[in-house]
Amino acid sequence: MENKILHTVLPVALVVGGIVLAFNVALLPLVPRAVPSRVLGKFTACKTIQQGDLLTSDGYPITSGYDGWGYNYQARSFNGFYCDSYRNAAWCQPYKDVRLAMKWNDAWLSNRDCDGDGLLDRHYGFAGYVGSGAWLTNHQSGEYEQDGETCQWNYFVKIAAAPSGAYKENGMWYEKNRRELGPVIWDEFAVIQKVENDSCAGSHGLQYRTPVGPGFGQFR
């Protein structure tokens, strides 16, 4: 199925499955964040979406609930079409009929701004994603024609930031004790579970599962 993966820079001609490589909201610089003051364990300097003055990194105002593209930043989710996740970018049009659902946690993309830059925080309190506990799930589905037959496909993947102390070797993340974590993706992340079904390609069910188990809680 390698020739059927969706790419973000050089798209392939045929779309039948794959993974989204980034949010439309660009990654923020990987620099340490200042920690705001707390009162009774709660942040006191964080802005929320409900206050109405937060923006995506490309300048779109963020509101509660789903926006016109399918993002619900408050609920940390996206539900729509693949191209909508990229603001209907021109390069994405061959994939415009691919459905996409994503969910993520606060470390991947928060629903608050605690560092005062007017944008939603990423990996807050960490210099980068490694060790932050960030994760994303990605579910795509669609259909294509092959030899006069309509082929149905769906693809689900779990992606987690590598834990502190992990290292990369030959395209794979490993724990310090050399236990495999998962294939490297986006440099700081590992694919920890992948499920793919394609009625015409013979792909059915689980394609990969990290040996440490696909639960997100252990990737810290």
Q: What is the pTM of this model?
A: 0.79
Tens of pLDDT, residue by residue over 35-67, are: 343 344 444 589 999 999 999 888 889 999 999
DSSP 55: B
Amino acid 44: pLDDT: 55
> What pLDDT score does 25 carry?
33
CA distance 209 to 150: 29
Outline where DSSP puts E strands in 35-95: 38-39, 42-43, 47-48, 71-72, 77-81
CB 9 within 8 A of CB 89: no
Q: What's residue 15's pLDDT?
A: 33
pLDDT recorded at residue 138 = 97
Give the pLDDT of residue 59.
87
- φ/ψ of 89, rounded to 5, equals -60, 145
Q: What is the pLDDT of residues 138-164, one digit of tens each?
A: 999 999 999 999 999 999 999 999 999
The pLDDT assigned to 20 comes to 38
pLDDT (0 to 100) of residue 41: 43
| Spatial separation of the C-alpha atoms in residues 217 and 197, rounded to whole Å | 27
Residue with tokens 């729509």: 80
What pLDDT score does 26 carry?
31
Residue whose C-alpha is closest to residue 159's, from 38, 39, 19: 19
pLDDT along the chain (220 residues), means of 10: 32 33 32 36 75 89 93 97 93 94 97 94 95 97 95 97 96 95 98 97 95 90
Exposure class string for 205-220: b at 16+ Cβ within 10 A, else e: eebeebebebebeebe
Return the pLDDT at 8.
30
- Contact status, residue 175 vs residue 212, Cβ threshold 8 Å: yes
pLDDT of residue 175: 94
